Structure 1
């Protein structure tokens, strides 16, 4: 045939500007597209040969990528194309509603390529001219050359080509010269083509000779054509799986275990998912799962494709039912992808259940590493919670493990309060909360250790899932108040004595940024500690949730609220109270008398105002009452300052406070140094 010229049959002339402009952010995928096309052509020839539709010699079927000064060439020895096939598959980009489609998807590179098989045209993202030199495998076929400079115009002409197959030659434009660098092309081939089923050759292997690297005669094959996930699990050893993991993640610790996926119906899915060993003090990294389609790398951004909690896993998923070139938004709404996601969740939960059932000892030994995945799954996916609650574990402060049902049975009799609520006591730090744990275990309670990154969110969820249950940290109150079994007795210390103790101790509390203390007095028995620090479960949990959950920053800005609990039954507290009352009696007595007079007059006025509307109360009486309130506050502050002055000279008061702070890891720096010096003086 003579040299033919024509226009590509596209229903809009906007296709090339869109390829250049809107696909530019993903321009590196051109290499994946062209190499994948070459592999497809090669695989088709192998299929024809297996069916005896091609009887020639297959010979070397490697796809070759080579660099020139200004060109990249992708060559294969696959089925090739005839002039008619070029006209059908290359020259006709015809689809209905093209203008509307291009407008709709102009910002989504992959959607344009994937929906309409425009993979070949991704070549124009980096090229000012593209040539196709091809010869069909069919007997007597004529080789042809197709040329296009990135406009709708093309030329098609007959040429000489000895061998079947296709060479695609890209003349790289000035903006894309990076793709003429050997290292850049090599890295892209490794990223996208490492596991393609046909050998991919990029140059020759190199070896060191006379102090420099020189090329050998051997092809540099960059891919493994038979990766682990394509093989049968029965053929593989544990070492095979571990080696593959090391190949994928060279600097990682050995995985905990793995799941080999192999599904034929209702969709095709293969893959290997690994549970990585996670150190509790590091940030969890997502998107370590690589997604493939027929061994062609698609993405490692799998959020929305696999369930969120499984994005913490590592490994490979391969499914021909996942479109190669579509946007993530398309993937997330694709029905096959949703089925695959649900199936992976089931396989993971079944595998975990199997390990738990068949080797509970091994499961318990790995629980600290596993729990981050399982807890995250239960928090984010209800259907996973339903399965996981059977093998999720609690660990107590004695390092014993229990399923949720086992633990409920363990504590049911002893840890149910007067309102029939089951109370789960827990510690978040065994060392820092040691004395609180000891007090609880001395009462016969069991204490859980919940020190994981997600445990604060987990307990909030479990309180909703478990029937009539609540979780309480052991340092949130004195031990007698953690699980109240009977109506509590009123404190027997008179209010004026409680006020004296409160003023004495409050005056000596340290000033700590974003920390507020309240002083309370309770009768805890003479053998309990004289002073303790507790923190409200609700407020502390809200602050902890603020650190991990958006929209709760209000709580994060609030100060930490602590109670300094004074044991009125303890000898040291009694001594402080008795000494204080004696030392301050002379100054306090007239203040008390004046406060009593103020209080008497306030009560008289309030009684007169009972059953009266606000407008019926004379202004003079309102003013008098306001003045009396102010006077009373003034006297109260004066009285407190007397006890504060006494406390300043009482080393025992500050020592007791510092002991409580020390017990809670809140005594540091200069305050700790002063405590040590004072301890030596007291001894």
Structure 2
């Protein structure tokens, strides 16, 4: 029997392992099972090279529970006493204290840095035993035992077969790992595709209304997963079936890419395009990263570009620099090359589908566009490739490449400055009347209703030469694309004021909404009242919802223009009636305001070049008195117009119709509108 101390430069490694690695303690099972698989793979390699002449026999790795222990057994190469001393008893642990303090919240970093794969077992064990026998001829079986202190014992053991048994005596505070269901779920998570069969207990079957155990091993893994097979030997159904195994509750994928790279790095895998329409974050972290078929993580940022984290599937590469625990991914130039290669493969595949079957590509565009838009917004080199197959869809359901669409609208949608105006709507039903007005004008309107389309609009304006995107409800149709300067018929100021004041007084109070009322000549056939919203302010507010640092815009009220069409017969009728009803009261006020305005101007002219201290107090008081009278008279005038408007049901009806058209008429206002409509009928 041999006793000794494990070669570490700290007094006791084990409390550190338990303290600092506790949050990730479930990875112990992956580490021990992976080591067993490695030992088995090494024996197969030696056998294929002729260095091991014995029978391989059953190479299944077995995991078993027994009261307070978990045992992981393999029939791999086993260990000699010298190898135990080299690989188990000596741990490169110099400079540990500083490192442990720095990474105390990151178990994977510690395990990986110090090669502690096997020692992760002490996170859950009060004692660990290794019973092992080397494959080498005449080898003596040995037993290594350690109770969580630096001391260990090494004795000869009775073991007929080659290989290794790792026996973990589970700590009292980790009894959850003695639960069959818990161990089963961990094996499914980490070991589903290991290249050597892994057994956990026996298969069960229903008999006489209850489950009974059979004599057949319960193999938990698929040793030859789809990504390790040759693409030309696989059918579409194979890919779909594998996808449903990975994501049991998901819809069928749109497309997939089978990766198989052996230079300048090794990389295999299958990436699936899922049906993604919204909720980007909810769809992230679905790509599973493996290292030689050992599950590592589903946080693949760094290995794939950010926009590709929307894809689902599997990536497997022994060349991605992972630590011994296979969890701590380190960024280096190799990872960047892999990331770039995956991005290229994805864009090439999309280009190929678009080129070979455009009809199918267009049919799936609405499922694909969020993913492609995300890529174009976040990765410049992807935009360069994607601009050849990215599509713009119009309100008629037709699709165009960027170049095709530019050609389509060049003749009719170029303004007087030579800018190409891309008109768009983001809700076909809600903006129907605006779309209809634009289409009747001979314009084409894009439908940009995707989650990232608002952000894409700004990007495309920068990318396209002399181009501007304008939403169809951002102005009256005649002002969307100004092709020449026109002398519009302008209503005289007093009548404009009468009309706008009357309408403004009847606008409902809507939370965080402000209206600017204006009168314009829009033609006899245009709507009597139109609501528009500034393209700039609306876009800023929409961007505030998806971009950090723009919350200021998000807090601002929505600003709308209520435009009164002075050419429409209803507006002409309202104005004529208002002038007739209010004239007797307004005319004397107007004359008084005119007189006050003359007096104010005379005083202001006298004070023009004087400093404030040189102006007599009497003059200041007189000017203030005139200002107060002017304000008072203006308020009286507005009150007369408001009083008139409150009695005129047509004014409120026209306002409500415009609000209704923009989905802004709700609650009591909507109820009043319905009652008033019945009365008017």
Inter-partner Cα distance in structure 2 for 1:636 and 1:14? 88
1:417 paired residue number: 415
Deviations 1:659-678 (A, max 9, x none): 11111111223222222222
- Relative to structure 1, the CA distance from residue 615 to residue 483 in structure 2 (aligned partners, 3 Å threshold; closer, same or farther) is farther
Q: Which runs of 5+ in 1 are unaligned?
A: none
Q: SS at 1:22's partner residue?
A: helix
2:476 paired residue number: 478
1:138 paired residue number: 136
2:490 paired residue number: 492
1:376 to 357, 374, 383: 374
Structure 1 stretch displaced more, 512-521 or 111-120: 111-120
Is the 8 Å Cα contact of residues 202 and 219 (structure 1) preserved in structure 2? yes
Inter-partner Cα distance in structure 2 for 1:247 and 1:313? 16
Counterparts of residues 73-152 of structure 1 (less than 5 Å): 73-152=71-150
1:162 paired residue number: 160
Is the 8 Å Cα contact of residues 280 and 310 (structure 2) preserved in structure 1? no
Q: SS at 1:157's partner residue?
A: strand
Give, in angstroms, the shift of residue 96 of structure 1.
4.3
Q: SS at 2:443's partner residue?
A: coil
1:442 paired residue number: 440
1:597 paired residue number: 595
Q: Which runs of 5+ in 2 are unaligned?
A: none
Is the 8 Å Cα contact of residues 305 and 339 (structure 2) preserved in structure 1? yes
Inter-partner Cα distance in structure 2 for 1:577 and 1:623? 38
- Relative to structure 1, the CA distance from residue 155 to residue 312 in structure 2 (aligned partners, 3 Å threshold; closer, same or farther) is same
Structure 1 stretch displaced more, 277-286 or 515-524: 277-286
Give, in angstroms, the shift of residue 349 of structure 1.
0.6
Inter-partner Cα distance in structure 1 for 2:7 and 2:620? 93
1:406 paired residue number: 404
Is the 8 Å Cα contact of residues 265 and 319 (structure 2) preserved in structure 1? yes
- Relative to structure 1, the CA distance from residue 13 to residue 281 in structure 2 (aligned partners, 3 Å threshold; closer, same or farther) is closer
Q: SS at 2:214's partner residue?
A: strand
Counterparts of residues 229-628 of structure 1 (less than 5 Å): 229-280=227-278, 284-325=282-323, 331=329, 333-628=331-626
Is the 8 Å Cα contact of residues 8 and 94 (structure 2) preserved in structure 1? no
Structure 1 stretch displaced more, 672-681 or 101-110: 101-110
Is the 8 Å Cα contact of residues 8 and 92 (structure 2) preserved in structure 1? yes
Give, in angstroms, the shift of residue 633 of structure 1.
1.9
Is the 8 Å Cα contact of residues 422 and 470 (structure 1) preserved in structure 2? yes
1:670 equivalent to 2:668? Answer: yes
Q: SS at 1:23's partner residue?
A: helix
Inter-partner Cα distance in structure 1 for 2:516 and 2:548? 29
Give, in angstroms, the shift of residue 129 of structure 1.
0.4
Give, in angstroms, the shift of residue 579 of structure 1.
0.2
Is the 8 Å Cα contact of residues 111 and 326 (structure 1) preserved in structure 2? no
Is the 8 Å Cα contact of residues 108 and 327 (structure 1) preserved in structure 2? no
1:177 to 154, 175, 180: 175
Give, in angstroms, the shift of residue 107 of structure 1.
3.1
Is the 8 Å Cα contact of residues 284 and 312 (structure 1) preserved in structure 2? no
Inter-partner Cα distance in structure 1 for 2:324 and 2:462? 39
- Relative to structure 1, the CA distance from residue 461 to residue 326 in structure 2 (aligned partners, 3 Å threshold; closer, same or farther) is farther
Is the 8 Å Cα contact of residues 297 and 327 (structure 2) preserved in structure 1? no
Structure 1 stretch displaced more, 15-24 or 527-536: 15-24
Is the 8 Å Cα contact of residues 415 and 424 (structure 1) preserved in structure 2? yes
Is the 8 Å Cα contact of residues 112 and 326 (structure 2) preserved in structure 1? no
Q: SS at 2:554's partner residue?
A: helix
Give, in angstroms, the shift of residue 324 of structure 1.
4.0
2:62 paired residue number: 64
Inter-partner Cα distance in structure 2 for 1:414 and 1:143? 88
Inter-partner Cα distance in structure 2 for 1:511 and 1:253? 45
Inter-partner Cα distance in structure 2 for 1:161 and 1:497? 107
Give, in angstroms, the shift of residue 434 of structure 1.
0.9
Inter-partner Cα distance in structure 1 for 2:25 and 2:439? 64
Q: SS at 2:51's partner residue?
A: coil
Q: SS at 2:127's partner residue?
A: strand
Deviations 1:345-397 (A, max 9, x none): 11111101111111111111110000000000111111111111111110011
1:639 paired residue number: 637
Give, in angstroms, the shift of residue 602 of structure 1.
1.3
Inter-partner Cα distance in structure 1 for 2:219 and 2:628? 89
1:660 to 658, 661, 670: 658
Inter-partner Cα distance in structure 2 for 1:123 and 1:327? 12
Structure 1 stretch displaced more, 395-404 or 137-146: 395-404
Give, in angstroms, the shift of residue 194 of structure 1.
0.2
Inter-partner Cα distance in structure 1 for 2:653 and 2:483? 34
Deviations 1:232-269 (A, max 9, x none): 10110000000000001111111101011110011111
Inter-partner Cα distance in structure 1 for 2:202 and 2:605? 103
Give, in angstroms, the shift of residue 610 of structure 1.
2.4
Inter-partner Cα distance in structure 1 for 2:510 and 2:99? 62
TM-score, with normalisation over the residues of structure 1? 0.97
Is the 8 Å Cα contact of residues 322 and 330 (structure 2) preserved in structure 1? no
Deviations 1:433-460 (A, max 9, x none): 1111111111111110000001111101
Deviations 1:448-496 (A, max 9, x none): 0000001111101111122222111000000111111122435421011
- Relative to structure 1, the CA distance from residue 328 to residue 378 in structure 2 (aligned partners, 3 Å threshold; closer, same or farther) is farther
Structure 1 stretch displaced more, 637-646 or 27-36: 637-646
Structure 1 stretch displaced more, 448-457 or 4-13: 4-13
Give, in angstroms, the shift of residue 422 of structure 1.
1.6
Give, in angstroms, the shift of residue 329 of structure 1.
11
Give, in angstroms, the shift of residue 15 of structure 1.
2.4
Is the 8 Å Cα contact of residues 331 and 337 (structure 1) preserved in structure 2? no
1:219 equivalent to 2:217? Answer: yes
- Relative to structure 1, the CA distance from residue 14 to residue 613 in structure 2 (aligned partners, 3 Å threshold; closer, same or farther) is farther
Give, in angstroms, the shift of residue 10 of structure 1.
1.2
Inter-partner Cα distance in structure 1 for 2:584 and 2:551? 50
Is the 8 Å Cα contact of residues 258 and 270 (structure 2) preserved in structure 1? yes
